[in-house]
């Protein structure tokens, strides 16, 4: 259990004439978390304006990102890193604008061709309809007193048109609309269209200036479409060439301009007057002196830094300061191993500055629960290999946390599988052989006890099965079920108790012991009392009820007393309805029996596949066919269990952290520590000029 790193507040002041230099130094410190200035917060100061270079950089950044989008360049596009000095020089010499001109010319050509294609396709569709009618194209136009109305209808409109004084043609086909053309007086146009409307008429335009049959015109249009498509293909080739030519420059420019814009907008977050600026900021307490010394030294004393406070964890300290200074940022303070699990915590929320960071608990219990449920050497090794490979190659945070759980969960699965369950691929290493208890000794034709080394470290169980005495070396997931259920419940009690204790510590830290005891002490006492009460009662019910008043009298009586005292405190602090939450505690504890249940389900499936496979190999089939089919069932079955274990054991392990543990104490809602800092991936400083990088950023 760890708290976020202690934070101190500082004030930085300087003259506006040296603001650009100050911004560079602030970024160089990589420890200054700005506190956004608010309007009218300080008399005589207002929010600053972006730096002069910011506007031009924003304009160029917009152009760069537009070009990247058109060329299909994104953050996953692999390009070599470019020198910062080289990129800045290219940007300064208007290379962005030159690239834009070159790319936009090709894009404009592509747009023209696409518009041409769209127009030709419309013309082609119209001609496909017109070729159904026995009328040449020149006959549709050129009349003074006659108008041609052409289009499609859903049904044959011949009966309705016959009543009109007009010449008409109707052509139908098995599929698709019916084509119709009416030649009527100009004055009858509206009447004709009105008659056709009842049949779902849709008018089409006859190509003007065309002559001959529609079929001939259609061939000409199709040829023109093919020619235009060939032109588009050529344009795409040109764009691919331009992408290859400019992608490294565009990605590097995107990064450098983004940095420039970010720096140029820093004044929007600080207070400025006519001649000076003032910056409020958070800095990790242990780095205050270092940051103060660096800022003043790198600016040759032109920037003044003053320490204001080191923020404590009590709410009273938060309430005593101005609103803009109330929230100290959260810098999670975990070791190298636990840091890999911070992403799992952030999936819920960022811890508050005044509360325990649950990351270390997740780092401990998540892989442990996973390993307890899997508990098999045969699955553990592939998990470790897969996890190690994922940690080596995966870049995304989602994949890395999955790989981390697989690797460390695999280690726990190996430990439990070797030293607790004594199991590999659903079969025990040693012990008495039975049809439902196949051992590796039996498979390799060894005598019982040949792998006796395991007996020295594994728990030993003796059962009566079918009139025979069976010796199980290692915990059988389908045999020692009461033991696994009890163990799961005990794990749940410890896990939940840690959650209650964390909640108590959080409250004590923020409000003091008395407040914490009244708010959380009742729940802790009620939890302990309920556990003791249930333990005594369940033990007596399973065994001899009379032992409740003898052997289990002490935990039974203490449990009732603690339960009553805890409920009394809760009623005083939270009201009478708090009693209604007591059954929920039992539900929380029993929720951990899924640890045993998932392990049992995996063992049950493994037993079934092993049983079927060995019957095929040794009994029902035998020979080569039985060997092949039996091995196939064995392989496919265990692969299925392997992938199901990732889903079921992984998800249920995570659920127990989120729903059962963190719900007891974790509130979240913190503001993540985000210092001014530059991370370059597509650009770099030349080694010999590294010492000058802060002065060459602008």
* CA pair distance 237, 234, nearest whole angstrom: 5
**pLDDT value of position 390:** 94
**pLDDT value of position 695:** 43
Pairing state between β 82-83 and 683-684: parallel
Q: Which helix (H) or strand (E) holds 57?
A: helix 52-71
**pLDDT value of position 380:** 95
Residue 79 sits at the vertex; the CA angle it makes with 77 and 84, to the nearest 5 degrees, is 125
The three-class DSSP label of residue 56 is helix
Q: Do 132 and 179 meet the contact criterion of CB atoms below 8 Å apart?
A: yes
**pLDDT value of position 488:** 96
Q: Do 541 and 487 meet the contact criterion of CB atoms below 8 Å apart?
A: no
Q: Do 36 and 327 meet the contact criterion of CB atoms below 8 Å apart?
A: no
* CA pair distance 537, 332, nearest whole angstrom: 43
**Cα–Cα nearest to 501, from 381, 624, 672, 361:** 361
Close Cβ partners of 614 (under 8 Å, ≥ 6 residues apart): 438, 630
Which of the residues in the chain have pLDDT under 70? 1, 435-436, 448-456, 463-468, 470, 620-622, 688-698
Q: Do 439 and 400 meet the contact criterion of CB atoms below 8 Å apart?
A: no
* CA pair distance 133, 169, nearest whole angstrom: 7
Close Cβ partners of 278 (under 8 Å, ≥ 6 residues apart): 11, 12, 13, 42, 45, 270, 271, 272
| Residue 681 burial (C-beta neighbours within 10 Å; 0-12, 13-18, 19+) | exposed
**Cα–Cα nearest to 478, from 492, 465, 494:** 465
**Cα–Cα nearest to 679, from 50, 32, 57, 27:** 27
**pLDDT value of position 422:** 87
**pLDDT value of position 696:** 41
Other CB atoms within a 10 A radius of the CB of residue 43 amount to 5
**pLDDT value of position 620:** 62
Q: Do 32 and 283 meet the contact criterion of CB atoms below 8 Å apart?
A: yes
* CA pair distance 157, 171, nearest whole angstrom: 10
Complete DSSP assignment for 204-227? -PPPTT--S-HHHHHHHHHHHHHH
Complete DSSP assignment for 621-690? S-HHHHHHHHHHHHHHHHHHHHHHHHHHHHHHHHHIIIIIIGGGT----PPBP--S----SSEE--GGGG
CA distances for 379 relative to 80, 374, 376, 454, 477, angstroms: 40, 8, 6, 19, 15
Backbone φ/ψ region at 463: left (φ over 0), alpha (ψ -120 to 50), beta: beta
Residue 396 sits at the vertex; the CA angle it makes with 331 and 495, to the nearest 5 degrees, is 55
Q: What is the pTM of this model?
A: 0.79
């Amino acid at each position: 259990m760890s708290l976020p790193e202690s934070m101190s507040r500082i004030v930085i002041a300087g003259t506006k004439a040296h603001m650009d230099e100050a911004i560079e130094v602030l970024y160089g410190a990589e420890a200054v978390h700005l506190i956004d200035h608010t309007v009218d917060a300080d008399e005589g100061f207002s929010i600053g304006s972006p730096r002069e270079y910011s506007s031009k950089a924003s304009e160029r950044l917009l152009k760069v990102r537009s070009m990247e989008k058109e060329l299909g360049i994104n953050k996953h596009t692999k390009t070599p890193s470019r020198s910062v000095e080289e990129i800045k020089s290219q940007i300064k010499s208007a290379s962005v604008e030159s690239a834009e001109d070159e790319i936009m010319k090709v894009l404009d050509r592509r747009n023209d061709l696409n518009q041409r294609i769209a127009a030709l396709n419309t013309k082609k569709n119209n001609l496909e309809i017109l070729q159904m009618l026995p009328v040449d194209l020149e006959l549709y136009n050129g009349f003074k007193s006659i108008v041609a109305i052409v289009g499609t209808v859903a049904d044959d409109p011949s009966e309705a048109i016959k009543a009109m004084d007009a010449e008409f043609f109707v052509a139908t086909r098995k599929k698709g609309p019916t084509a119709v053309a009416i030649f009527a007086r100009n004055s009858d146009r509206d009447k004709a269209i009105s008659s056709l409307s009842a049949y779902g008429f849709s008018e089409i335009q006859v190509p003007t200036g065309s002559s001959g049959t529609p079929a001939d015109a259609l061939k000409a249009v199709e040829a023109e479409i093919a020619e235009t498509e060939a032109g588009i293909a050529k344009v795409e080739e040109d764009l691919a060439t331009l992408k290859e030519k400019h992608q490294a420059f565009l990605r590097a420019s995107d990064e450098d301009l983004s940095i420039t814009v970010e720096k140029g907008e820093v004044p929007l977050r600080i207070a400025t007057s006519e001649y000076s600026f003032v910056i409020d900021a958070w800095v990790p307490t242990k780095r205050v002196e270092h940051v103060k010394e660096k800022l003043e030294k790198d600016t040759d004393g032109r920037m003044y830094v003053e320490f204001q406070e080191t923020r404590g964890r009590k709410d009273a300290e938060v309430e005593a300061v101005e609103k803009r200074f109330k929230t100290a940022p959260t810098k999670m303070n975990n070791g190298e191993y636990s840091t890999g699990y911070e992403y799992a915590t952030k999936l819920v929320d960022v811890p508050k500055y005044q509360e325990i960071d649950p990351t270390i608990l997740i780092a401990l219990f998540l892989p442990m629960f996973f390993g307890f449920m899997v508990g098999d050497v045969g699955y553990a090794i592939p998990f470790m290999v897969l996890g190690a490979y994922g940690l080596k190659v995966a870049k995304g945070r989602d994949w890395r946390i999955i790989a981390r759980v697989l690797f460390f969960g695999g280690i726990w699965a190996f430990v439990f599988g070797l030293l607790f369950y004594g199991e590999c691929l659903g079969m025990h290493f040693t012990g008495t052989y039975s049809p439902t208890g196949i051992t590796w000794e039996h498979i390799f034709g060894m005598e019982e006890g040949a792998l006796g080394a395991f007996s020295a470290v594994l728990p030993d169980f003796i059962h009566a099965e079918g009139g025979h005495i069976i010796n199980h070396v290692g915990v059988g997931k389908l045999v020692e079920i009461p033991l696994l259920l009890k163990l799961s419940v005990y794990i749940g009690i410890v896990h939940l108790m840690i959650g209650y204790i964390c909640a108590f510590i959080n409250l004590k830290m923020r409000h003091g012991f008395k407040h914490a005891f009244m708010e959380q002490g009742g729940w802790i006492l009620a939890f302990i009392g309920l556990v003791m009460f249930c333990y005594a009662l369940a033990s007596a019910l399973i065994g001899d009820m009379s032992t409740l008043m003898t052997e289990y009298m002490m935990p039974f009586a203490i449990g009732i007393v603690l339960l009553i005292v805890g409920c009394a405190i809760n009623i005083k602090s939270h009201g009478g309805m708090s009693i209604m939450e007591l059954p929920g505690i039992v539900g929380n504890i029993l929720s951990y029996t899924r640890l045993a249940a998932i392990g049992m389900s995996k063992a049950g499936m493994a037993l079934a596949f092993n049983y079927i496979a060995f019957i095929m190999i040794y009994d029902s089939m035998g020979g080569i066919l039985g060997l092949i089919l039996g091995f196939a069932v064995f392989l496919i079955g265990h692969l299925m269990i392997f992938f199901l274990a990732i889903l079921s054991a992984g998800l249920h392990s995570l659920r127990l952290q989120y729903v059962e543990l963190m719900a007891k104490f974790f509130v979240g809602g913190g503001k993540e520590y985000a210092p001014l800092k530059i991370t370059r991936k597509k650009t770099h400083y030349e080694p010999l000029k590294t010492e000058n990088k802060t002065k060459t950023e602008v």
